[in-house]
Chains A and B, each alone.
Chain A
Amino acid sequence: MSQVPSVRERRTVGLLKRLRLSRAVVNVILGLVAVFWLVPTISLLVISLRPESLFGESGWWTVFTAPSQLTWGNYTTIFSQGFAAGGVLDSLTTSLEITIPVTILVALISSLAAYSLVFGSWRGRDWIFLVIVGLMVVPLQVALIPVVQLYREMGNLFGLNPYGTIPGVIIFHVAFGLPFGIFLMRNFLTGIPKDLLEAGRIEGAGEWKIFYSIVLPLALPAIASLAIFQFIWVWNDLLVALVFLGGNVHTPLTIFLYDQTRSLAANYWIVSTGAVVSIFVPLIVFFSFQRYFVRGVLAGAVK
């Protein structure tokens, strides 16, 4: 075996020989691309770690020759407010208060709906699925005004107006997260052999048992992808929060940043520090679940 290289091996070797020159070029090109891609992130990080006074004085890149510039000062300043309304920590909490329920609800409802769409036998499920796929591309901006009016009507009729409340934002996000969630879960569940469910049914398992002890464990990777996506979307949303929580005391991080740019237009350092705080959570999520994230990108190509 070892003396005689396989056809494939020989082919690869030949290919490599011809590529050797261009491989160096490729490395350089991609190296430059990588640097270009990293600069913005690094600049943000460095600006947040340099003292306010240095901001307009010299470029952030001077830090590479003078590392002594680095300080936690900006962070101490923005965290010093604690959890008081309008502060970074309050916004962080609000962001979590919105994001976590939305993520859980979307994952749960999507899985159940997809289960029924894939393994159910009721009439019209193909049509419902097509409607859901159609809804996926509808930009949420289209629904802002009708939903605000609907919320107002709810207030008039039941004395319960979700406009301007966190549940109001959650409902909106869940509603707009579901089409993609159901689409992704359905696509994944169709890959589960029907035989498995039938085996379960023959062994005496009811629908719930089949759902949570056979389908759910198998669909875990898809649920993880969906949850990560949903989490990042909602965490990063500015528009919906602005429309529904614009005037609120407690606002998510995106609004905090937006307000900072509006009111203290020149205070890049505080904005940058806030921005680092805001990207910290999604970055952790991204790096810990990169595999699922990529899978989600692939599954959700149409959104």
Chain B
Amino acid sequence: MSSVTLRELTKQYAGNAGLSLDSVSLDVAHGEFICLVGPSGCGKTTALRMIAGLESVTSGEIEIGDRVVNDLAPRDRDIALVFQSYALYPHMTVFGNMSFGLKIRKVPKDEIKAAVTDAARILDLEQYLDRKPAQLSGGQRQRVALGRAIVRNPAAFLMDEPLSNLDAKLRVQTRAEIARLHHRLGATMIYVTHDQVEAMTMADRIAVINLGKLEQVGSPRELYLRPANQFVAGFIGSPSMNFVPMHVESIDGGIRVVSAGGDMDVNLDDVESAMIHRAGVSDVVLGVRPEHLDHRPRSGRGLQLSASVDVIEFLGNDEHVHLSSGSHELVAIVDARTPLTIGDTLTLSASSEAIHLFHPETGVALK
């Protein structure tokens, strides 16, 4: 069993008042591909390095395959780490780089050769084994870094933004390659990235971290559809979800939510009314994804708003339209065939399923 478990993992750097990682608990099942995402400096890399044993643990526990590894040296943890910079030894050949760890473990020569050749075949590196890293392209170096991890056949693969040094096209390609590799090896992988698209496309589950705290863990679908709070809602999805502060008004025994300027109003359904009721708030933050705003008037339940067009970004199939409604700014994705000019006033709507409501102070999604 090579599961990885974090229990209330906390990290405080000397001379730093705040916590870099604040009581993070996470279960990674055997063979699972989990992504740690968050903005830069959120603590995700710190968490990964703690799992690897490169950072000491302030408090909490790390378990790898039923074994508490807090006090074990990195070499005794049976993990492999792919660095953001690849960290290839520049004075060794590709073969030397990939075999270094096995040599240290005194693995017999022919076994090393077999393992390296095997990994090289998987990664399409066979003809480069005699080259030095400086003679390789970025993508090849990245594959060598992966290969160095593969030959070790570790209990868990840790990856620290391994794609961030590749250009956009290669990144998409390698993304698929890593996903394929995961299927093939069936290994536990913990993958750190700041790019939510990478996380969404590759991960079985995503752990969103912000300011050292774990915000939400769940499958990409779950995070997209049911974000636990305003941060996750804004972080997952591109362009970001629109947020508008609204005021709750009671009318005729029911409630209605209107924006400050009064250009937007939401005809709440029963579930939503109940949510606001339960929370007992007089203000609420409304969230709606740009792709869920329809350029069609709607009758019945849901959101209705009118806004004027500020900027149009043509993307081919569709357009990102930046709008202002009163003092609020919104983004909507509309069909590129819609004839629009700057200054037009649009009427947009969203169904009540597409509407997210968040607590105005805590940012927690209302339930």
Interface of A toward B, CB cutoff 8 Å: 193, 195-196, 198-206, 209, 213-214, 217-218
Contacts and interface: CB of A to CB of B under 8 A. Distances in A.
A195 B104 contact: no
Interface stretch (B71-79, B223-231, B285-293, B327-335): B71-79
B167 to A, nearest CB: 21
B91 A198 contact: no
A203 B87 contact: no
16 contacts: A193-B87, A195-B87, A198-B87, A199-B81, A199-B87, A201-B54, A201-B73, A201-B75, A202-B54, A202-B75, A202-B79, A203-B101, A203-B152, A204-B101, A209-B104, A218-B89
Contacts of A196: 87, 89
A203 B75 CA distance: 6
B128 interface: no
A205 B53 CA distance: 13
A198 B160 CA distance: 13
Nearest to B99: A203
Given A203-B101, A209-B104, A195 B83 contact: yes
Contact of B85 (A195, A204, A214, A217): A195
Interface residues of B, number: 23
A199 B83 contact: yes
Residue of A200, A204, A205, A209 ringed by the most chain B CB atoms within 10 A = A204
A162 to B, nearest CB: 39
Given A209-B104, A217-B91, A218-B90, A202 B85 contact: no
A198 B100 contact: no
Nearest to A209: B104
Contacts of B105: 204
Nearest to B104: A204
Given A195-B84, A199-B81, A202-B74, 5 more contacts: A196-B87, A196-B89, A198-B87, A205-B100, A217-B91
Interface in B78-116: 79-81, 83-87, 89-91, 100-101, 104-105
Contacts, number: 59
Contacts of B148: 199, 203
Contacts of A201: 53-54, 73-75
A214 B87 CA distance: 11
A201 B83 CA distance: 13
Contact of A218 (B73, B75, B91, B152): B91
A205 B104 contact: yes
Contacts of B73: 201
Contacts of A193: 85, 87
Contacts of A202: 52-54, 74-75, 79-81, 101
Looking at chain A's contact residues, the main secondary structure is helix
Contact of A198 (B81, B90, B101): B81
Nearest to A200: B100
A214 B148 CA distance: 15
A204 B105 CA distance: 7
B50 to A, nearest CB: 13
Contacts of A217: 91
Nearest to A201: B74
Contact of A205 (B75, B80, B86, B90): B75
User: 10 closest Cβ contacts across the A-B interface?
Assistant: A203-B101, A204-B75, A195-B87, A199-B87, A217-B91, A204-B104, A202-B74, A195-B83, A201-B74, A202-B81
B315 to A, nearest CB: 33
A198 to B, nearest CB: 5
A198 B49 CA distance: 10
Nearest to B54: A198
A214 B75 CA distance: 16
B83 A198 contact: yes
A138 to B, nearest CB: 32
Nearest to A217: B91
Contacts of B87: 193, 195-196, 198-199
A213 B73 CA distance: 19
B99 to A, nearest CB: 10
Given A198-B54, A198-B81, A198-B83, A203 B89 contact: no
Nearest to B49: A198
A207 B80 CA distance: 18
Contacts of B80: 202-203
A217 B91 CA distance: 7
A205 B103 CA distance: 10
Contacts of B84: 195
A206 B105 CA distance: 11
Interface string B242-264: 00000000000000000000000
